[in-house]
Each structure stands twice: as C-alpha cells, then as structure tokens.
Amino acid sequence: MQLFDKLFLNKSIPPFLEGKGDFVIDDLMGFALLIATVYQKKKTKYLIITSNLYKAQNLYNLLSGMVENDKVSFFPMDELIRAEAIAESKEMTAQRLYTLHSIQNGQSDIVIANVAAANRFLPNPDFFIENTFKFSIGKSYNLSKIRKDLVTSGYTLVNKIDQSLQFAIRGDILDIFSVNLPNPVRLEFFGDELESIRFFDIATQTSTSKINTVKILPAKDVILNDEQIENGIKKIQEKLKKNQAHLGIDSQEKLAQNIGDDITNLLERNFTPKMYKYYSFITGEKYSIFDYAKDFTKIIYDTPQVLSSNRLLLEESWNYFQDLIAENRMIPGLEVNQDISQKINNSRMICTYPLQKSFKNHEFNIRSVPFLASKLADTLNIIRSYLNDAYQIIISLSTYEQLNACEKMLLDENISFDKVDGLTLPKNSNISLTFFNLEQGVILEDEKVAILSNKELFNSKTKSVRYTNKFKEATILKSYEDLEPGDYVVHEYQGIGQFISLETLEIENIHKDFIKIAYSGTDFLYVPLEQFQLVRKYIGKEGHAPRLSRLHSKDWENTKRRIKERVNQLAERLMHLYTERNNIKGFAFKSDDEFQIDFERRFVHQLTDDQERTLKEIKDDMEKNIPMD
C-alpha cells in the first residue's frame, strides 16, 4: 500500500477537497505531503503562494520528489527592495518563462511562487502566446520579420550563441536558444523556405540531431510591441510635462534628462530591470501569475506571513519611488508591484502555527521527528522506539551508501524489513527501506506512520539547489569575452563599476578597442583592451547590485586602506593567538580503543590510500598535546 493511499483516508482530506474551512499544518513537509496526497488521487491543479523565496524553493524541492517532476513548476522572483538595484537573474527569468509556457500548454499541474513573483506584472496571457513562435520544415518565413519579432520578444542578437535567450543570424542560417529546449536549434533557409531544423552543441557549434518542428518561447516576461512603445512614450511625455509645471528650472532640466534617457532606452528596446517600473504604466494592464493559472486552485501557505510580505513589498517600493521622485529621477504614477491581498483573501488558507487552531480550522496532524542520531546506537534506538509504539516505519534514504549501511545494521540486529520502491508501507514487516530523497522525516500521528530520513538517522542533509544568498570572490577575467553588458566589475585602481560595452575609439588617427565602464553619476572609464587584466569580474550576493565607485575620488583608496588595516589587525591577532597556543599545553587524545576500531570497521567502503594517510595524520596530531584549530 502506498503512503498516499493511506493519507487519503485522513479525516482532514474530505473538507480540504470540498474547500471547507482553513487548515493548520505544523511544517512545510506536512504541507507537501497533503498536496502530494490530494494530487495523486484527484489530479487537482494548484497555484501555491509562499511568503518568501526560500520557502518556495524548499516546497518545490519536496514536491518534485513526491510528484512527477515535470508536473511541478517553480515561478521565482528576487525579493529586492530597490527596483533600480535589481541585477536581473537570467536563471530566474528563464524559469519564469518556462513555467508560464508550461501552464499554457497544460504541462504544469502544481505551480509554486513566492509573493514577489505573484505580485509581478506580466504580459496578457494571449499576448505571451502571440510572441511564442513555431517553426516547421517546408513552410515559408520572412527572415527579416523573424529577426524583428525575436528582438521584440526579448532575445539578444549575438555573433555566436553561448547561452539561453540569444539568437544569431548568418546569411540564411538562424540560431536560437529558447528556455524550453535542451540545446539551441539551427534553422537553415533556402530563400524563404525552412529546409532543416537541427539541435547543435553550444560548445562545438556542431549539429547533433534533426527535428521537424520547434517552438520558441519569448525571452522576457516583459514584452512590448512597437505600438505599445510609441503610445507609452507619449504617455510618459504627457506625464513629464504635467509634473514639470510644479518644479523649478533646475529640477525640470534634471527630470527631463533622466526621463529622456529612459525614453531612449525604450526606443532602443534596452529594457533593463531599471525600466520595469514603466511596464504597467505603458500597457495599462495588471496581469499576474493568477491570470495564467485561472483554472488552478489557489492556496496560500502561511497566510499571515504572505499578507505581511505583500504589504512590506508595496510599502518598500512606494518609499523608494518617493525617493526617486524627490531626486527628479522618476515621474509619479509608476508601479513595480501590484497589491494581491484581495486575491490572497479569495484563496484557500493554510496556517502553520498551533496558536491558529480553532473550531473553524482543520488540522493535518503531522509533526517533525524529535530525534537526531549522533551515533549508530542512537539510530537503532530511534527505530526501536517507534516499533515499540506500534508505528509502521518508512526509512527513506537518499544515498546508496546510507541505504547499504542501514540494511546491514538491521540485518545484524535481526530486525525484519521490506525493501520497497518509493514511499510504500511495509507489507511483511513493520519497516520499509527505500531509496528516496526526502529532506526530513515526519510523524503521521493519525496514521501511526513514522517516516525517517537520512537527517534523523545519519544526521546528514540531502543536497538541494536553493536560491540563497551566495557570496563569491571576484574572479580574474581570462578574456574580455567573459564580460556581458551590465556585469559589475572591479578596476584595480578605480573601484567598482558596470561594464557597458566594447568600443572602438580613434586616438591620433589610430583605432583602438576599449572596455567602457560606467561609474557613479555620469562618469565613464575607457580601459584599453590590452590592460583588461586590471579588471576583475564582481560576483557578489545574487540579486544585489553593489554601490558604484566615483571616479577621481578617494573612496576606493579609502576602502582598500580600511581593508588592509583590518587584514593587518587580523594578522596581529592571529600571531598573538598562535604565540599563546605554543605556550599552552593542549589535550592529548588517547589512541583508538576497541569501540572506535569497531565503528570504523562498520564503514561500508574501502578507504583510498590518500584517505588512510590523511586519517592517520589527523589522529597523530590529535594524540599530541599541542593545541589545534
């Protein structure tokens, strides 16, 4: 019997299916099990909104393991306060595009979004479809129009494709890399007729396989056609004229310059994240993920937190826009977030706090496992404790090493078990042993089932990809081709700037190539290409734009000086620390006893020569009375 079959008999399932009342669940794992259980039986489609990106990513990881992977989609958005500070994540953009397409073609049944993604303005769903292209062999196409349409839908024209969301044209050959494709495609024309469509390898640029048709998705979830841009510029100019009437001469000029730059970006289709604030103003529309998932049941996980996150995003964007207006950098009446509180209140509510239990609410009685094993004896004690309480146990492990170790342990202790696939309840014993990836175990109190994972039994975590804050050091550029327009860079002598483009300038009748870098204000630095080693690529926190340095100021030198001072202070402290350590007698561990030798003997793998040598060196150091780190 599958676990989901048993969970479907839970007393809270009928009211959940009927939409009666709200629900209280203690944690995310329990919520994932509830959704997976109902989906496995009823194939109900769900749009789930979480309060932040971390919860959305975790829920996506959990449900992807419980439900067919291609049926669960992720719709993420960076949670950033300052719209102009958005360093757009191409990975998130691609994921959003793929999810919108998956919803429209009926592939996705469960969509998970954080609040920042849910209140994002999106194109009219029909307009998104209109900007999705389908190519078939034997049909005729206007290559010039295709080029224009691809630019309209957000693709970047390059000489050679090296990533998604790009296209290249060489004569009668068109290369495109859409986010719904595993590899880029090469379309070869004879006149207007499409003769062949081939996938090709992005590294070698060589064709790999033929196909007859291909679908190309838009490259942005912010799409404007020529008519919208033309009308939008008129609206912006009218708004600018009205706003200037209330300003002094200096403020009028500054505002006109800033808005003029934005209009130029619109005309050139340079729709950077900074320009996103114009989108709903230009289109006059307020579509969101809710409009794409019209037929989905909407569920709000942790309702109070979701409402709070929605309110906070609106307040912070409003405050930021007031700053921009005061600095004459923006006209009033623009938005980057829409209020989805009404949509939230019209959705199904899931609460996560015991204090929110009431006679109106239904509780899905699931709780976390309260134990963590620190040694083999603990693992056995955890398993025996649930056996003694007449629980059925599912041991779900995500590595074959752990699975083999657990199997050997159970055999050594004469504890019977069933080896099963997936989350299957035991049939011939009280324990199921399965290779299945779960981030944590749970206790199903009503069903008397304990699910134990590698977290509880081996005190280890499964590896999962999450969008978390990641800090990385700047990397030395191996080539100027490593830079993309908009990348943040660090010049050794001038500090942090933003790469704009490669430009050829004529100096004393000699043409030379330069790296153009923008700095704070309106300053630009032109670095000769032969000096590109002075430039390092800045890689900081994902989704966070660094503060640009100001040219010809002492800010960067002061920053470097402060860092050097802190490094010197740290070095002095370390020197003092190691001097003290040399004068202190540390604790010397004893040689391995029979318990340690037995523990190591139980390890299921043979150590390599390097591992054995390293282990011996560590033990030798531990048996000395010299303090160690």
> How far, CA to CA in Å, does 562 sit from each of 444, 548, 557?
55, 17, 9
CATH number at residue 41: 3.40.50.300
Question: How many whole angstroms separate alpha carbon 117 and alpha carbon 121?
Answer: 9
Q: What residues make up the domain containing 145?
A: 133-216
pLDDT band at 213 (very low <50, low <70, confident <90, very high): very high
The 8-class DSSP code of residue 219 comes to S
pLDDT band at 544 (very low <50, low <70, confident <90, very high): low
What is the pLDDT, as a whole number, of residue 354? 46
- Residue 218 reports pLDDT greater than 70: yes
Number of structural domains the chain divides into:
5
377 vs 415 pLDDT, higher one: 415
For residue 122, list its beta bridge partners.
287
Q: Which one of 458, 493, 522 terminates a domain?
A: 458
In a domain, 75, yes or no: yes
- Residue 73 reports pLDDT greater than 80: yes
Q: What are phi and psi of 541, to 5 degrees?
A: -65, 130
612: which residues sit within 8 A by CB, 6+ positions away?
none
In a domain, 385, yes or no: yes
Same domain? 116 vs 155? no
What is the pLDDT, as a whole number, of residue 508? 67
Give the range among 172-176, 335-339, 605-609 with minimum mean pLDDT.
605-609
Question: How many whole angstroms separate alpha carbon 207 and alpha carbon 201?
Answer: 6
Measure CA of the first residue to CA of the last residue in the chain; give whole Å.
51
Give the range among 82-96, 247-261, 277-291, 509-523 with minimum mean pLDDT.
82-96
In a domain, 251, yes or no: yes
- Residue 398 reports pLDDT greater than 80: yes
- Residue 469 reports pLDDT greater than 50: no
What is the pLDDT, as a whole number, of residue 116? 93
Q: What are phi and psi of 325, to 5 degrees?
A: -65, -40
Percent of the chain with pLDDT strictly greater than 90: 41
What is the pLDDT, as a whole number, of residue 120? 93
Place of tokens 């919860």: 55
Give pLDDT tens digits for 344-370.
Answer: 888 877 766 544 555 456 777 888 888
Place of tokens 């950098």: 329
The chain-wide mean pLDDT, for the chain, equals 84
Angle, helices 28-42/53-66, rounded to nearest 10 degrees = 40
Percent of the chain with pLDDT strictly greater than 70: 89
Give the range among 197-211, 256-270, 452-466 with minimum mean pLDDT.
452-466
- Residue 80 reports pLDDT greater than 70: no
Same domain? 33 vs 75? yes
pLDDT band at 598 (very low <50, low <70, confident <90, very high): low
pLDDT band at 465 (very low <50, low <70, confident <90, very high): very low
What is the pLDDT, as a whole number, of residue 434? 94
The separation between CA 279 and the C-alpha centre of its own chain, rounded to angstroms, equals 23
Same domain? 334 vs 411? no
Q: Tally the residues of the chain.
A: 629
Helix (H/G/I), strand (E/B), else coil: 69: helix
217, 97 Cβ separation under 8 angstroms? yes
- Select from 493, 566, 500 the least CA-distant residue to 536: 493
In a domain, 207, yes or no: yes
215, 136 Cβ separation under 8 angstroms? no
Q: How many helices and strands, by DSSP H and E, does the chain display?
A: 20, 27
Question: How many whole angstroms separate alpha carbon 448 and alpha carbon 426?
Answer: 13
In a domain, 612, yes or no: no
Looking at residues 445-469, what average pLDDT do you find? 73
What is the pLDDT, as a whole number, of residue 385? 92
Give the range among 276-280, 418-422, 535-539 with minimum mean pLDDT.
535-539
- Select from 502, 565, 512 the least CA-distant residue to 535: 502
What is the pLDDT, as a whole number, of residue 567? 73
Give the range among 132-146, 276-290, 372-386, 404-418 with minimum mean pLDDT.
372-386
In a domain, 337, yes or no: yes
The 8-class DSSP code of residue 315 comes to H
Same domain? 443 vs 523? no
Looking at residues 554-570, what average pLDDT do you find? 73
In a domain, 573, yes or no: no
- Residue 474 reports pLDDT greater than 60: no
Give pLDDT tens digits for 324-339.
Answer: 899 999 999 998 889 9
Helix (H/G/I), strand (E/B), else coil: 349: strand
In a domain, 35, yes or no: yes
Q: Which one of 363, 397, 422 terminates a domain?
A: 363
Same domain? 206 vs 176? yes
- Residue 473 reports pLDDT greater than 50: no
pLDDT band at 121 (very low <50, low <70, confident <90, very high): very high
Q: Which one of 493, 521, 552 terminates a domain?
A: 552
